[in-house]
Structure 1
Amino acid sequence: MSEYTERSLHELVQPIILLVDREEPASEQHGIAAAALASVQAFMRDPDNPDWQQWATGAFAKSVRRADAKMFARVLAAFPEHVLSTVGQASAIGLPPMPAAELPKLLAKLQVSGTTLPTGDPLPPQPLNIALNASLDMSTGKAAAQAAHALFAWVLESKPAVVEAWAADGFPVGILELPAKEFRKGLRKSAGPVIQDAGRTEIEPGSTTAYVTARKVK
C-alpha cells in the first residue's frame, strides 16, 4: 500500500470549479464525485502536455473553488480548454495546471474555503468508489479535493487497460463516507494510493483522508 501526501506545488496547481447553485444546489456526494472526475478527465484528455507531465510528477496540487451559476457560466466561456464533468445535477469544471501564484483574476476571486452542499441522496455504490474519512468532518470543498487526489493517484498507478476500461464504461464512481473504524479497516484493501493531507486547512497535518476502493456491486 503506497501513500501520497498532499503538498504545496510551488509552480503549478490544477483549478477545479464546483457549481454551487444558490437556488437548487446539488447533493454533496454528487458534487464531490463531479469534482474528482473533472480532475482526472481534464488530465486524460491531454496527458502528454508538458504542463500536465510536470504537475503530475509532483504533488499534483488542486484548488477546488466554488461558483454560482452565473460565475460558472463565465468560467466555461473564458476557458475553452475546460472539461465539464456532471454527476446527477452536480457539475464541475476541470482545467489544466496553472502557475499557483498567477491564477487568472476570474479564478482567483472564486472562494475556496467554506464550500458546502446539502447532504441529499447518496450515490449508489459502484465497482469503483472513493472512500472518505467521515470522522474528519470535512467540508464539501475539502472532501472534493481529497477525493480528486485519491482518484487521480489511482489513475496514475493503475494499469492503462484498467483505466481505459473504466473510461469506456462512462467513468462510474461512488462516494463512501466511512466512520473511522471502517475507513481504517478498508486501508488494507485499497485499490490505489492512500491520501494524507498536509494540514493547511481544516484538518491536522498527516490526517489520512481518502483512497479508492474496488468492490462488487450487489
Structure 2
Amino acid sequence: MSEYTERSAQELVQPIILLVDREEPASEQHGIAAAALASAQAFLHDPANPEWHQWAEGAFAKSVRRADAKMFAKVRAMFPDQAVSTVGEASAVGLPPMPAAELPKLLAKLQVSGTQLPVGAPLPPQPLTIVLNASLEMSTGKAAAQAAHALLAWVLESKVATVSAWAGAGFPVGVVALPAKEFRKGARKAAGPVIADAGRTEIEPGSTTAYVVTAKTR
C-alpha cells in the first residue's frame, strides 16, 4: 500500500495543524487529543458554515499537518478567528473544510506523513475518552486524524445539550490505546460511531481505528 493516495481536486478536507516543537515536542497522547479537540472546536466555532455540512456528507477527510513554532505562529496569523486548542503540553489549530487542491501555500507545504511524537506521560482519565486501536500501530499523525474523526462524529451525532455540557466543562478529553480484543469489546459501548478508515495512508481500508466513550456509556 502506498503511503499516500492523492485526493480528488475538489474533495473537501479539514486541515488540522499540530504544533511539533523541534526541541521540546509534546507527548503523543497530548498531541492526539489536541488535534482531535481542534477539529471539534473548529466546527463548533461556526457550525452554520455550509461547507461543514457538504464535507460531513462526503469522505469526512482530515489532514493533520505538523508545524514548528515559527510556522505555527504564521498559521495563527493567517487564521486569526480560529482558536488554538490546547491539551496539556500540546497545541493544535483546526480549520474549516476546504478543497484539497486549494489549500493556501502556507498549509500545503506543511508535512503530513511521518509525524511522530514521543510517548511521554499519559493523559489523566477524563469523562470523555477517545479509544484508539493499538494493534494498527498508527503514527501520531494518523492516530490524531482518526481521533479527530471519532470526536467530531460524536459531536455531530450527540444532542446539543450533551455537547454544550461537555463544552461547559472545559472540553475534557482523554486518549487511550487498547489491544485489538479490548478495542472490539469496548466498541460495543461506544458513545458515537466506530470509525472505519478509508485506507489512504498507513493501514488497510476498512480498519476500525477509533471511537468515543463517555462516563455514561462505560
TM-score using structure 1 length = 0.93
Residue 61 of structure 1: CA displacement? 1.1
Whether the 8 Å contact between 1:34 and 1:86 is mirrored in structure 2 is: yes
Residue 176 of structure 1: CA displacement? 1.0
Query: Which residue number in structure 2 is paired with residue 133 of structure 1?
Result: 133
Query: Which residue number in structure 2 is paired with residue 92 of structure 1?
Result: 92
Query: Which residue number in structure 1 is paired with residue 147 of structure 2?
Result: 147
Q: How does 1:69-80 map to 2 (within 5 A)?
A: 69-80=69-80
Partner Cα separation in structure 2 for residue 210 and residue 8 of structure 1: 25
Query: Which residue number in structure 2 is paired with residue 3 of structure 1?
Result: none
Write the letter of the residue equivalent to 1:168.
Answer: G
Partner Cα separation in structure 1 for residue 192 and residue 9 of structure 2: 21
Count of matched residue pairs:
210
Residue 107 of structure 1: CA displacement? 0.3
Write the letter of the residue equivalent to 2:197.
Answer: D
Query: Which residue number in structure 2 is paired with residue 112 of structure 1?
Result: 112
Q: Which range moves more in the overlay, 57-66 or 144-153?
A: 57-66
Residue 36 of structure 1: CA displacement? 0.3
Q: How much identity, in percent, do the aligned residues show?
A: 81
Whether the 8 Å contact between 1:146 and 1:210 is mirrored in structure 2 is: yes
Q: Return 5+ residue gaps in structure 1 as ranges.
A: 1-6
Whether the 8 Å contact between 1:8 and 1:59 is mirrored in structure 2 is: no
Whether the 8 Å contact between 1:36 and 1:145 is mirrored in structure 2 is: yes
Q: Which range moves more in the overlay, 141-150 or 119-128?
A: 119-128
Partner Cα separation in structure 1 for residue 190 and residue 43 of structure 2: 22
Partner Cα separation in structure 2 for residue 204 and residue 8 of structure 1: 20
Q: What SS does the corresponding residue of 1:144 show, helix, strand or coil? A: helix
Partner Cα separation in structure 2 for residue 161 and residue 103 of structure 1: 34
Partner Cα separation in structure 2 for residue 120 and residue 9 of structure 1: 38
Query: Which residue number in structure 2 is paired with residue 200 of structure 1?
Result: 200
Q: What SS does the corresponding residue of 1:211 show, helix, strand or coil? A: strand
Q: What SS does the corresponding residue of 1:18 show, helix, strand or coil? A: strand
Q: What SS does the corresponding residue of 1:22 show, helix, strand or coil? A: coil
Residue 215 of structure 1: CA displacement? 2.7
Whether the 8 Å contact between 2:19 and 2:69 is mirrored in structure 1 is: yes
Query: Which residue number in structure 1 is paired with residue 169 of structure 2?
Result: 169
Query: Which residue number in structure 2 is paired with residue 24 of structure 1?
Result: 24
Whether the 8 Å contact between 1:9 and 1:58 is mirrored in structure 2 is: no
Partner Cα separation in structure 2 for residue 56 and residue 121 of structure 1: 33
* 1:123 matched to 2:123: yes
Partner Cα separation in structure 2 for residue 9 and residue 51 of structure 1: 15
Residue 59 of structure 1: CA displacement? 2.7
Partner Cα separation in structure 2 for residue 129 and residue 9 of structure 1: 34
Q: Return 5+ residue gaps in structure 2 as ranges.
A: 1-6
Q: Which range moves more in the overlay, 49-58 or 80-89?
A: 49-58
Partner Cα separation in structure 1 for residue 162 and residue 152 of structure 2: 14
Whether the 8 Å contact between 2:15 and 2:96 is mirrored in structure 1 is: yes
Partner Cα separation in structure 2 for residue 47 and residue 8 of structure 1: 25
Residue 8 of structure 1: CA displacement? 7.5
Whether the 8 Å contact between 1:133 and 1:209 is mirrored in structure 2 is: yes
Query: Which residue number in structure 1 is paired with residue 46 of structure 2?
Result: 46
CA RMSD of aligned residues (A): 1.4
Distance 1:9 1:144, change over 3 A: farther
